[in-house]
Copies of this chain bind each other. A is one copy, B any other.
Amino acid sequence: MTGRRELEERFDALKGANLSLDLTRGKPATEQLDLADALDGYLGGDFRAEDGTDARNYGGLRGLAEARELGARLLDVSAEEVIAGGNASLTLMFFVLDAAMNTGLTGSRWRDAEPVKALCPVPGYDRHFVLAQALGMELVTVPMTDTGPDMDVVEEQVATDSAVRSIWCVPKYSNPTGCIYSEDTVKRLAELPTRHVPPQPGGQPFLVLWDNAYTVHDFEFPPPRLTSILPLAKAAGTEDSIAMFASTSKITFAGGGVSFVGGGAGFLEAVEERLSILMVGPDKVNQLRHARYLAGDKLEQHMRAHAEIVKPKFDAVERGLARGLGGSGLARWTRPRGGYFVSLDTPTGLATTVVALARELGVALTPAGATFPYGDDPEDRNIRIAPTLATLDEVEAGIDVLTLCIKLAAARKADHG
Contacts and interface: CB of A to CB of B under 8 A. Distances in A.
Interface of A: 25, 27-28, 30, 33, 36-37, 40-45, 47, 54-59, 86-88, 90-91, 93-94, 98, 101-103, 127, 130-131, 134-136, 249, 253-256, 277-286, 289
B91 A279 contact: yes
A101 B284 CA distance: 30
Residue among A30, A42, A135, A254 with most chain B CB within 10 A: A254
A33 B56 contact: yes
A47 B280 CA distance: 28
B94 A256 contact: no
Given A57-B27, A87-B86, A278-B90, A103 B255 contact: no
A280 B88 contact: yes
Contacts of A289: 40
A30 B54 contact: yes
A215 to B, nearest CB: 18
Contact of A254 (B25, B43, B58, B101): B58
B56 A256 contact: yes
Among A25, A93, A253, A289, which residue has the most Cβ atoms of chain B within 10 A? A253
Contacts of A283: 86-87, 255-256, 283, 286
The 8 closest A-B pairs by CB, nearest first: A41-B41, A94-B278, A256-B285, A87-B283, A134-B277, A33-B56, A56-B253, A58-B254
Output the residue of A41, A101, A136 with the most chain B CB within 10 A.
Answer: A41
10 contacts: A40-B43, A40-B47, A41-B43, A58-B249, A86-B283, A87-B283, A103-B134, A103-B135, A127-B280, A254-B280
Contact of A88 (B131, B134, B279): B279
A318 to B, nearest CB: 25
A90 B280 contact: yes
Given A30-B54, A94-B277, A255-B280, 5 more contacts: A33-B54, A56-B253, A59-B255, A103-B134, A254-B280
A174 B68 CA distance: 36
A40 to B, nearest CB: 5
A58 B255 contact: yes
Contacts of A40: 40-45, 47, 285, 289
Given A86-B87, A103-B134, A285-B253, A58 B277 contact: no
